């Protein structure tokens, strides 16, 4: 939607080719398609003493159900732009939809790549998203219809499970996972994914603002303030979500406030996190996810849902 058609097509083609070997999909790969090496610590002080310094990626061996949603959302947008899935890609996606239908009941590391596997609400929503997009691709004639009924049943079971186990009337919000009182700012993405229940999602956004908001920005989840700064992408996910729910004035206000603070930083490239008090950038710099979240928010505010 931003004009990078060749890059988008090449990226999806590469990914589907890599996923077509029948092995379980990984969270990340090297550019050559190999598995990412485990993280190792090196004896360096780090930026302003931010130790430890690691090479590699601890998420390489994690299970994250969000990958199913990402894959199918990308495939759906690829088709929506006028492209056609070839037979091999359609077969690969069918296998992945079956795998998602099998695995959604299992715990995972979640979008935040946490060390303890749990039944994270956002992971379940991502599985719902994957199966919903798979059904849409079938209905568009892009995937075989053999397992459509099964995917539809599992999609509905996921939604029912989330409604029963992940909603807290006491908190007025979807929780980070069942059995906790913690909140998770990534749940703002559920609005983009068109997950059922706008009223509950709107109440969840209010709870996130109240508990995870700090100045113009947001922490990732309850308790994160004790160990890190605000995660910039979360704020722009919130802007996008409020706009999609029809809360234009509030969305524009949040966006303007955040960009005014970031604009004072100077060069126009943004980090992973920010200290809400000093406005010092923290974490990965530059962070592609932050820039993507800003682009998405701008497009949504302008009436172009990417």
DSSP string, 161-199: HHHHHTEETTTTEE-SSTT----BGGGGHHHHTT-S-HH
| pLDDT of 193 | 95
**pLDDT value at residue 204:** 98
Are residues 179 and 223 both part of a single domain? yes
14 and 161 in a single domain? The answer is yes
Q: Mark whether 77 and 12 lie in a shared domain.
A: yes
The dihedral of CA 164, 170, 176, 180: what is its sign? negative
Q: Are residues 104 and 9 in the same domain?
A: yes
What pLDDT does residue 270 have?
93
Q: Are residues 143 and 201 in the same domain?
A: no
Residue 245 lies in a domain: yes
37 inside domain: no
Residues 304 and 221 in one domain: yes
Q: Are residues 190 and 156 in the same domain?
A: no
Instruction: Concatenate the DSSP letters of all residues of 120-135 into one string.
Output: -HHHHHHHHHHHHHHH
**Do 179 and 159 belong to one domain?**
no
- Residue 295 falls inside a structural domain: yes
Say if CB 181 and CB 222 are below 8 A apart: yes
Residue 17 included in any domain: yes
Same-domain status, 267 and 201: yes
In a domain, 154, yes or no: yes
Q: Which residue has the tokens 């991502």?
A: 126
Whether 158 and 137 share a structural domain: yes
Of the residues 165, 200, 235, the one at which a domain ends: 165
Residue 46 within a domain? no
171 within a domain of the structure (yes/no): yes
Q: Which one of 148, 165, 182 terminates a domain?
A: 165
Residues near 66 by beta carbon (within 8 Å), at least 6 away in sequence: 110, 111, 122, 123, 126
Distance, CA of 289 to CA of 274 (rounded, Å) = 14
In a domain, 238, yes or no: yes
Which residue among 165, 188, 217 closes a domain?
165
pLDDT at 266: 64
The answer to whether residues 153 and 178 belong to one domain is no
Domain co-membership, 3 together with 139: yes
In tens digits, what is the pLDDT along the chain, a chain of 306 residues? 677 889 989 999 999 999 988 778 888 888 888 888 777 888 898 877 877 888 877 776 788 999 999 999 999 999 998 999 999 999 999 999 999 999 999 999 999 999 899 999 999 999 999 999 999 999 999 999 999 999 999 999 999 999 999 999 999 999 999 999 999 999 999 999 999 888 999 999 999 999 999 999 999 999 999 999 999 999 999 999 999 999 999 999 999 999 999 987 667 899 999 999 999 999 888 899 999 999 999 999 998 655
Helix/strand/coil for 270: coil
| Domain housing 128 | 1-27+62-165
Query: How many domains are contained in the chain?
Result: 2
> Residue 211 has what pLDDT?
98
């Amino acid at each position: 939607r931003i004009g990078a058609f060749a890059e988008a097509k090449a990226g999806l083609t590469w990914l589907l080719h890599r996923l077509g070997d029948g092995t379980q999909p990984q969270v990340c790969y090297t550019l050559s398609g190999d598995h990412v090496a485990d993280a190792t610590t090196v004896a360096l002080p780090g930026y302003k003493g931010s130790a430890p310094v690691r090479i590699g990626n601890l998420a390489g061996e994690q299970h994250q159900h969000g990958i199913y949603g990402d894959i199918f959302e990308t495939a759906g947008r690829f088709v929506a732009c006028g492209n056609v899935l070839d037979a091999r890609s359609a077969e690969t996606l069918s296998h992945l939809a079956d795998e998602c239908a099998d695995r959604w009941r299992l715990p995972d590391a979640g979008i935040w790549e946490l060390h303890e596997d749990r039944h994270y609400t956002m992971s379940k929503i991502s599985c719902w998203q994957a199966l919903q997009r798979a059904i849409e691709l079938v209905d568009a004639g892009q995937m075989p219809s053999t397992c459509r009924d099964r995917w539809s049943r599992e999609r509905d079971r996921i939604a029912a499970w989330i409604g029963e186990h992940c909603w807290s009337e006491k908190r007025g919000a979807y929780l980070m996972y069942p059995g906790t009182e913690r909140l998770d700012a990534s749940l703002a993405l559920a609005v983009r994914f068109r997950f059922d229940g706008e009223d509950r999602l709107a109440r969840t956004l209010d709870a996130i603002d109240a508990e995870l908001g700090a100045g113009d920005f947001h922490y990732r989840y309850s308790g994160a303030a004790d160990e890190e700064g605000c995660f910039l992408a979360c704020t722009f996910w919130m802007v996008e979500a409020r706009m999609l729910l029809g809360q234009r004035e509030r969305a524009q206000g949040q966006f303007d406030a955040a960009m005014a603070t970031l604009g004072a930083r100077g060069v126009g490239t943004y980090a992973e996190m920010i200290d809400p008090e000093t406005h010092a950038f923290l974490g990965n710099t530059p962070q592609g996810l932050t820039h993507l979240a800003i682009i998405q928010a701008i497009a949504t505010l302008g009436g172009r849902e990417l």
